[in-house]
Every structure is written in structure tokens, then in C-alpha cells.
Amino acid sequence: MDIQKQIDQRPMTSTQLLIILMCFILNMLDGMDVVVASYVAPRIMEEWGVRAQSFGMVFSAALIGMATGAMFISPFTDVIGRRKMVLLSIMVVSSGMLLTALATNVPQLIGLRLYTGLGIGAMLASLTSLAAEYSSDKRRNLVIGFVLGGYPVGATLTGVLAAKLIPEYGWASMFIAGGLISTVLFPVIFVLLPESLQFLLHKRPPGALHETNRILKKLDYELLDSLPDLADKDSKQGDGSVAGNIRSLMTQHMRNATIKLWASFFMAFFTLYFLMSWIPKIAEDSGLTQAQGAYSGAIFNFGSFFGIVTLGYISSTFGLRRSILLFMVLSAVLMILFGNIQLGVIFYMLVFLAFYPIIWYATMYRYYKKDFRW
């Protein structure tokens, strides 16, 4: 019995929808954890007498941690499983957020943001993969876009929360709130999030058959008497190591597309995180109140969600390559206007539509390489 083929072809069940919803919520948590520093930065700079130049490392630390976690920790999902990696990541994020509330100087902030970023980076890849695996082939594009949309939604809610909490309770309240939310989510995810069926069927940890049947029962699928034999091609492919995957991307057929994708992905993320980190501070320096600065950041991230949806809609007609080019040109024009014209809140609602398409593109490329031509 080909389980993945059944998932691809059969209508999605309530269990699958619940799994996707949990991945969406966890992506919201990641969005909250990444951008929280941008909302507390103005208050910390004021209280500690820190210059903006010195605080840049605090923003960078979380991103360095994310990159490190994604590159060097996330691959261990092939050893321990996606579910365990997600649970361990939540523990890291929760402890990192709560400890950050106790920080008293910039070096401590940098170290704790780096530590928290490790958990975020290790978790992100597992969430998208789990959602894609448990979605039908017909709905997979929509599911991936929905899960990725959790990130800007979480960042948006963080801005709204910051506008309420920081003026009343101080900057530490944001990290306490984030840590408590992560802690509350842990037992929910522990109970409800299943292991990857692909991991169980291919890696076969102890109890794999029992766990597989437990998941199949929830999906209302036929149970297995024994684990199916691995195909010869699977046994010859090795363990799916990071080095092996990178080598496959650097073959003569894939090299050109891979380098272009990496370059565009890096530049887009560089721009995205720069704006996400500094918009609240820039807004305050422009004369807005602290609450208005937080709302400006929230609006920016809220627009990112609509950027994903808009790209998904128009790309079905014009193709991803042309759609992304349009969005990138639009974002360049809007950033130039941002530096020269004061357009208020409406301008923020325009500017963010341009930045999240590259996330959609990278994910689609990961799962549907055959559909892309450069």
C-alpha cells in the first residue's frame, strides 16, 4: 500500500486539517519570536542608553541563530524525526524568550537572541515539510502558502501586542508573553502533532509500525500488518545527508538555477529582515509615538500575508517567475519612495506587499523543481 499516494489522491480529513493548523500556529510563533526584538528596541535603547549602531547586532543574532539552526540542526530531523525536532525547538524558543526578559545588557541580549534563533531555524523546515506531506496533491500549494502565512500573521499580532504591553509593562513583558505562549503550546503539540509518516516508513525507528498504524487509524486509512519493503532506489540513495543534497543541486543541470535561487533568496531576505527590524524605530524617529511605531511594524507584516495570497493568485495566470519579478520591481520602487516621501500608514500598507513572494518561491522550488525554468 502506497500511503503517500493515498494522501495525495484522497480528500483531506479533519486530522490532516488539524495538523496543518498546528503548523500554521507554530509558524505564527516563529514570526512572533523573530520580530519581537524590533518592537522592544526603542524602549531598550532609551532605558539603557544604547545607540542604534550597537543594537544592530541584537537583530543580527537571531538571524544568525536561525541560519545556524536551519543548516546544522534541522538536518538531524532525519535521525530523531520531525515531531521530536519541533518539540525540542519549542523548548529552546520558550526558554530563550523567558531568559531574555532577564537580560540586563546588550551582550546578554545578543547571546540569548542567538540561542532562541537556533530553535526557530531548526523548526521552520519541519513545519513546511509536515504540512506538505499531510496535504493532498490538489491542495498542497494552498496548504504551503497558508502555513507560510502564519509567519507574517504572528509578526502582525506581535506588533498589536507590543502597542498594548510595552507602554504599560515595559519591554520585558513582550519576551515573557512570547515565552508563556510557547510553553502553553508545548503540551498541545506533544499530544496532537503526529510524526512524519515518511520518517516512520523510511527510517523505521523502534515502534515504527505501531506509530504508523496509530496515525493511519486517525486518518481513517487501512492499517498495516507490517512495514512495506523499501524500494531499491530508496536504499541506494543513502541517508539524505545535507552534503548529498547540496551536491545534487550543483549538478550541471541544476547548478545555474540553484545559484540564481540562492542569490535572489539571500538578497530578498536581507531586505525583508532589515525592514522588519528597523521600521518601528524609524517610525518613532519620524515623530510617531511608541504605540504608533509598533502599529507601523504590525501593518508591514500584515501586508506580507496578503503578499503571499496575491502572488499565489496571479502566479497561476502569469507564472511564478514573472510574478516574482513584478513584486521585486514594485518593492524597489516602494523602498525608494519610503526614503523620500512621507505617506503615513497607507504607504506602509503598500510597501509590504512586495517582500514575502521569495518565501513562496523558495518553497515551491523545494517541492516542485520540475515546474521551474530560468
Phi, psi of 224 (to 5 degrees): -100, 140
* 134 Cβ contact list (under 8 Å, min separation 6): 7, 16, 19, 20, 197
Q: What is the pLDDT along the chain (374 residues), one digit of tens a residue?
A: 678 888 988 999 999 999 999 999 999 998 888 889 888 988 898 899 888 777 888 888 988 998 899 888 988 998 999 999 999 999 999 999 999 999 999 999 999 999 999 999 999 878 988 998 999 988 887 787 788 778 878 888 888 898 889 989 999 999 999 999 999 999 999 999 999 999 999 899 999 999 999 999 999 998 998 888 775 444 444 444 455 466 777 788 888 888 887 887 778 777 777 777 777 777 777 676 767 767 777 777 777 767 766 766 676 677 767 777 777 787 777 777 766 665 454 445 444 544 444 444 444 444 444 443 33
Domains and CATH numbers, the chain: 3-371 (1.20.1250.20)
Among candidates 191, 193, 215, which has minimal Cα distance to 3? 215
Q: Do 125 and 26 form a contact (C-beta atoms < 8 A)? A: no
Phi and psi at residue 244, in whole multiples of 5°?
Answer: -65, -40
- Between CA 106 and CA 112, with CA 108 as vertex, the angle to 5 degrees is 120
At a CB cut-off of 8 Å and minimum separation 6, what does 305 contact? 149, 152, 153, 156, 356
Calculate ∠ Cα 268-297-312, nearest 5°.
Answer: 50
Q: Are residues 100 and 112 in contact, defined by beta-carbon separation less than 8 angstroms? A: yes
What is the reported pLDDT for 51? 82
CA geometry: angle at 347 spanning 346 and 352, to 5°?
110
Report the interhelical angle of 52-68 vs 255-285 (nearest 10°).
Answer: 150
Q: What pLDDT does residue 367 have?
A: 42
Claim: this prediction has a pTM higher than 0.95: no
Rounded alpha-carbon distances, angstroms, from residue 251 to 216, 239, 270, 324: 38, 19, 27, 25
Cα separation of 325 and 332, whole Å? 11
What residue has cell string 479533519? 14
Q: How far apart are CA 69 and CA 89, in angstroms?
A: 9
Residue 108 is given by DSSP the state H
pLDDT of residue 240: 47
**Contacts for 27 with CB less than 8 Å, ≥ 6 apart:** 124, 127, 147, 148, 149, 150, 151, 154
Let me know: does 128 contact 364? Beta carbons within 8 Å: no
Q: For position 260, what pLDDT does the model report?
A: 82
- Residue 354 has what pLDDT? 43
362 contact partners, CB below 8 Å, separation of at least 6 = 261, 265
Q: What is the largest CA-CA distance in the chain?
A: 68
Amino acid at 18: L
Give the separation between CA 23 and CA 148, rounded to whole angstroms. Answer: 9
Tell me, what's the pLDDT at 70?
85
